[in-house]
Structure 1
Amino acid sequence: MAMLVYLLPLALFLGALGLTAFLWALRNGQYEDLDGAAARILIDADKAAE
């Protein structure tokens, strides 16, 4: 039972840290172009350089 005193604030802190990281990524445009990276792998680099 005494472990909850340590684990509950730790869990809340890690959850808030994850939420903060997600909101930071959202505001910085990390999720703007989800299909671009998937299509970019199909483009041949040699033909694009020409």
Structure 2
Amino acid sequence: MSEFFYLIPISIVLGLIGLLVFLWTLRNGQYEDLDGASERILYEDDHPRSERWES
């Protein structure tokens, strides 16, 4: 039972750290362009594997 006195504050601190990291990513714009990566992979120039390694 005494372990709970250690585990509860540790879990609260870890939860607050996770919340702060999430808020930091929101503030820095990590979630602004969610469709960009999925569209970029479709429109990139594709080169065959043999041409890519020749140069």
**Does TM, normalized by the shorter one, top 0.5?**
yes
User: Which of the two has higher C-alpha Rg?
Assistant: 2
Runs of 4 or more consecutive aligned structure 1 residues displaced over 4 Å after TM superposition: none
Report whether the alignment pairs 1:30 with 2:30. Answer: yes
Using the size of structure 2 for normalisation, the TM-score is: 0.77
Cα offset, 1:40, TM superposition: 1.0
Number of residue pairs aligned between Structure 1 and Structure 2: 47
Could you state the TM-score of these two structures normalised by the residue count of structure 1?
0.83
Gaps of 5+ in 1: none
Cα-Cα RMSD: 1.5
Identity %: 59
